[in-house]
Amino acid sequence: MVQEFDKVGVVGLGTMGAGIAEVFARAGFNVIGVEIDQAAVDRGRAHMDRSLSRAVGKGKLTEDERAGIESRMTFTTSREELADADFVVEAVPEHMDIKKDVFGDLDRICPPGTILATNTSSLSVTEIAALTSRPDKVVGLHFFNPAPVMKLVEVITTVSTSAQTVDLVSEVAKRVGKTPVAVGDRAGFVANALLVPYINDAIRLYERRIATREEIDSAVQKAAGLPMGPLTLADMVGLDVCLAVMDVLWEEYRDQRYSASPLLRRMVAAGRLGRKSGQGFYAGTDEAPEPIPTGRYAQMIREEETLDLGEILLAPQIDDAMRMIGDGYATAEDVDTAMRFGCGYPKGPTELLAERGAESVVTTLVAMGEYDLTSIAVPAPLLMDQLPDAEEPHGGCACQS
């Protein structure tokens, strides 16, 4: 059935949308990119031109291959030109009112058999699907930035999505060179639900002057072999994006684990969004190393043999992953695949757990609770089950709620 697909529409040609359009055109699909006006179309075309130029410059594409990709691309300001599209991906800004407008039009314009996908990273796919007359043919198709490079695609299903649609979209994802992970419609899905709270934890440590930004980043890089630390990553992702995901998680779960750091909220309010605004944890600073914090908690943690700064950002994320797996939302393989292919982790959370052992992770969580460094009251049941003889260390978890 995948081979019958020919014309793919992409609505929204920002950095992500242009990347998605490029991904489909590279795979041999005829792609029509739609934007709100000609200026936005021109920006989208420029995004793609820069991406293709980089690929040619690095020897990843030949000039002939680039010409072929460009010949399969059409740009327009009219959604009506999607009337014969087989598959449409929406990649407009993360505002439900904008997405409602797009899906209302798509449902009216596209044939009944056309599959409609949203690239939302945090909004409810179920709510979006309910706006259409074809909820069985609506899915989330969450690409990761930069779309031509990152291998993960989260395929998000709702209670109404048909099994045939899920299978077909997963096969399409494979055809465009991606690794699909199919999960249900839940706030943050897999990758963002694990990544953004981890970033938020790092911001809390920095806000409380537990360690400098350099110490936090380097400790995590050393502990997990990550290409960059959480505060550098926050600047790259965008602090506004991090805050939006945290707020979506909070709205769904109402758990202190998903309460955004006050510092994160204030930096966004001040327009310090990271690289995109030129100001963030590093961006817009003089890059000079910060003085070592001398507060009581900072000194105690430096002297505590059972606490390692790198493990303090990692242990809660491992716990989150074990809860996700224990809930039956995703398999261990899906969790590791999402973090490796979507977030650039050399090893996924369950692989990090296997390296450390459950007792070490639980001990870190217990100690964090004693210092009021986590809102996790009790480690995940699946994590506790992996302790030797399933016994709780130190007579039980002392984590604070």
Specify burial of residue 253 (Cβ count, 10 A radius: 0-12, 13-18, 19+): middle
> Strand ranges (DSSP E) for 1-51?
7-11, 30-34
For 8, phi then psi, to 5°, come to: -115, 135
Q: Which position among 122, 192, 277, 375 bears the catalytic label?
A: 192
Q: Which position among 154, 170, 200, 375 bears the catalytic label?
A: 154
Which tokens in the block code for residue 50?
Answer: 């820069």
Active site residue 162: no
Q: How far is CA 174 from CA 27, 161, 179, 383, in A?
A: 10, 19, 6, 32
Active site residue 261: no
Active site residue 124: no
Q: Which position among 22, 90, 142, 215 bears the catalytic label?
A: 142
> To the nearest 10°, the Cα dihedral for 120, 125, 130, 133?
70
> To the nearest 10°, the Cα dihedral for 323, 231, 179, 127?
70
Active site residue 119: no
Distance CA 61, CA 40 (A): 26
Q: Which position among 51, 119, 121, 277 bears the catalytic label?
A: 121
**16 and 150 Cβ atoms separated by less than 8 Å:** no
Q: Which sequence positions are flagged as catalytic?
A: 121, 142, 154, 192
